Structure 1
């Protein structure tokens, strides 16, 4: 069973994502913003992260940059789930190493399909641990 870290500062959206993923058999851990996600990610050991862009304290792009910079988390696939879907947002997502982009309001089936695809095939090889 794949584990997903769902990061969104809006309770209703976070709960909707959790409900849809849970119904499809995913184990879900949540975070309320980027800093909360960075505090939880190593212990949660998710197979996929869904990440909102506009959040207090640390936005999704900066969170993704920090996840990609950390050898312990750089291999985890990230799906941005955001209403911020201008061409510049998509480009910035690609530049920060985001693996998929789902636009809010999202189709729950599309979200599940994207997360399942990342859980099954989107993972980069786990980096070697330092000896």
Structure 2
């Protein structure tokens, strides 16, 4: 049994997309947990202790912007690498993500191989 490449928390309110991301990362060798929205992410992040979080922007209860900002404000989670995955691809959206402090920005529809490379790079930096 080989050691996983890292632990990823996949956060998306769309079950199909959440599972697509999770399965692709698991096949690549990552340990994966999932959350259904930003609040679920914040509730679970301490238990999951991920190296990387993939975070959708438009979700109920707590959107990705607020979730990312709260992750960055908390000393216990500010080190976790965050990849925003969203259909919101305008320049001001991308800029907003980087101003909050996200580490990467992937737009939907996305190429699973590109996402895997992005997560792999970020996970290797945090280990």
With the shorter chain as reference, the TM-score category is over 0.9
Give secondary structure in 1 for the equivalent of 2:13: coil
The partner residue of 2:22 within 2, 8, 18 is 18
> Cα deviations across residues 58-88 of structure 1 (Å, max 9, x unaligned)?
0001000000000000000000011111111
TM-score norm. by structure 1 comes to 0.92
The partner residue of 2:46 within 42, 52, 55 is 42
Provide structure 1 residue ranges, at least 5 long, that are not aligned to the other structure. Answer: 125-131
Superposition CA RMSD, Å: 1.0
Deviation, structure 1 residue 54: 0.3
For the residues of structure 2 that align with 1:68 and 1:120, how far apart are their CA atoms? 19
Structure 1 stretches of 4+ moved >6 Å: none
For the residues of structure 2 that align with 1:44 and 1:30, how far apart are their CA atoms? 9
Which residue in 2 is equivalent to 1:52?
56
> Cα deviations across residues 27-53 of structure 1 (Å, max 9, x unaligned)?
000000000000000110000000000
